[in-house]
Amino acid sequence: MSLNKLQLEHLLVEVSRHYSARGFGRPSISALRQMIISNTSEGKFRLQNELYSFPGIPVTDLLGRHGAGDLPQHFPPKCTPWAGKADIKSADAVFAFSFGYELTDPAKSSARERRPGTMNERLAEIVASLHRPQLPLYVQFEIARASALDEIKPTYISPVEDVGTQGVISKFLADADSHKKTLGKIIVVAHEQHAERCVRLLALRKNRKLPARPVRGCKNGWDAPEQSQPRVMSEAEYIVSDFVSMAQLRIEELVESYDD
């Protein structure tokens, strides 16, 4: 067996265990494995099509060995522990990340047309349950539009625009900085299949690695027929999107490790 094939098989095992721990079903994981196999050659994963333009990364870097130096395993079999009562009590802020949405007019895809949808309504309920005086709430706008927050005024609501998870984090932190808020421990409110990536992105912030714990409570909603997000309308589509984002995250981790 060639070294490239051995490394690819090793990656498939790690990816399968990782996404299983994050609550993805076997059909979605199987589809992801096939996508990885089809887009890996000469020891490098690349994905180029109408939806994705990922230039490539060596399989060894995704494994966290050899080329990735001392970086930890990128797709660990266990994820960040869920927040307990003590974590929530000692938190400095809540960061709430949206997941999917509906459109008021299916013919219009602008961010202004977005309604919360099933999953963001549930995420808003979790935010409301965490609300207490002096605990800043940073909320993505799709969640802020949910009825559960009608009587609660978040500290900050992201602009009504199409921004990815990393961009949302940047906006949350920029607002905190502008008001001279000191943020240490963060409680992450996100769909359970999205939460781990949110936590990892917070840990990546250069010169400001923020410890974060996710809250359990939102793990369904893929069967909602009104979901409107064009690229991701099923778990099988989302797992591909997440894997590509995780691969990009690894590149950023490598760049930071070299800078250090």
List Cα–Cα distances, 259 to 99, 211, 253, 254, 256, in angstroms.
33, 21, 10, 9, 5
Residue 130 half-sphere exposure toward CB, CA atoms < 13 A: 34
List Cα–Cα distances, 65 to 18, 41, 150, 250, in angstroms.
17, 18, 48, 12
Instruction: For residue 111, give the DSSP letter.
Output: G
Q: Is residue 165 part of a domain?
A: yes
Please report the pLDDT score of residue 152 as a whole number. Answer: 95
- Please, which residues have CB within 8 angstroms of residue 120's CB and are 6 or more apart in sequence? 98, 99, 100, 101, 142, 143, 145, 146
Same domain (yes/no): 71, 91:
no
- Please, which residues have CB within 8 angstroms of residue 26's CB and are 6 or more apart in sequence? 20
Instruction: For residue 72, give the DSSP letter.
Output: P
Q: Is residue 240 part of a domain?
A: no
Same domain (yes/no): 40, 92:
no
Q: Is 60 exceeded by the pLDDT of residue 32?
A: yes
Q: Is 90 exceeded by the pLDDT of residue 130?
A: yes
Instruction: State the Cα–Cα distance between residues 45 and 51, nearest whole angstrom.
Output: 16
Q: Find the mean pLDDT for residues 140-145.
A: 95
Please report the pLDDT score of residue 204 as a whole number. Answer: 79
Tokens of 106: 């299916």
Q: Is residue 144 part of a domain?
A: yes
Looking at the structure of the chain, the number of domains it has is 2
Q: Find the mean pLDDT for residues 99-122.
A: 82
Same domain (yes/no): 131, 214:
yes
The three-point CA angle 6-78-172 to 5° equals 115
pLDDT band at residue 100 using 50, 70 and 90 as cut-offs? confident
Q: Is residue 247 part of a domain?
A: no
Q: Is 50 exceeded by the pLDDT of residue 67?
A: no
Residue 180 half-sphere exposure toward CB, CA atoms < 13 A: 0
Q: Is 50 exceeded by the pLDDT of residue 80?
A: yes
Same domain (yes/no): 115, 54:
no
List Cα–Cα distances, 125 to 63, 114, 117, 173, in angstroms.
37, 18, 13, 23
Please report the pLDDT score of residue 260 as a whole number. Answer: 53
Same domain (yes/no): 89, 52:
no
Same domain (yes/no): 98, 190:
yes
Please report the pLDDT score of residue 234 as a whole number. Answer: 86
Q: Find the mean pLDDT for residues 34-60.
A: 94
Q: Find the mean pLDDT for residues 121-145.
A: 95
Q: 50: left (phi > 0), else alpha (psi -120 to 50), else beta?
A: alpha
Same domain (yes/no): 43, 121:
no
> Residue 9: which domain range?
3-78+252-259
Return the sign of the alpha-carbon dihedral for residues 129, 134, 136, 141.
Answer: positive
Q: What is the CATH number of the domain that holds 151?
A: 3.40.50
Please report the pLDDT score of residue 68 as a whole number. Answer: 47
Q: Find the mean pLDDT for residues 103-114.
A: 78
Instruction: State the Cα–Cα distance between residues 114 and 112, nearest whole angstrom.
Output: 6
Q: Is 60 exceeded by the pLDDT of residue 227?
A: yes
Q: Is residue 234 part of a domain?
A: no
Q: Is 90 exceeded by the pLDDT of residue 131?
A: yes
Q: Is residue 237 part of a domain?
A: no
Q: Find the mean pLDDT for residues 32-36.
A: 97
Please report the pLDDT score of residue 16 as a whole number. Answer: 97
Same domain (yes/no): 36, 93:
no
List Cα–Cα distances, 219 to 25, 52, 69, 162, 196, in angstroms.
12, 25, 34, 22, 13
Q: Is residue 238 part of a domain?
A: no
Q: Is residue 241 part of a domain?
A: no
Same domain (yes/no): 64, 96:
no
Instruction: State the Cα–Cα distance between residues 109 and 104, nearest whole angstrom.
Output: 9
Q: Find the mean pLDDT for residues 153-172.
A: 94
Looking at the chain, which runs of residues are DSSP E strands?
40-41, 44-48, 53-58, 93-96, 102-103, 114-115, 137-139, 156-157, 186-189, 212-214
pLDDT digit string, tens, across residues 177-226: 999 988 889 999 999 999 999 999 998 775 556 788 998 877 766 766 66
Same domain (yes/no): 166, 203:
yes
Same domain (yes/no): 118, 48:
no
Same domain (yes/no): 21, 126:
no
Mean pLDDT of the chain: 88
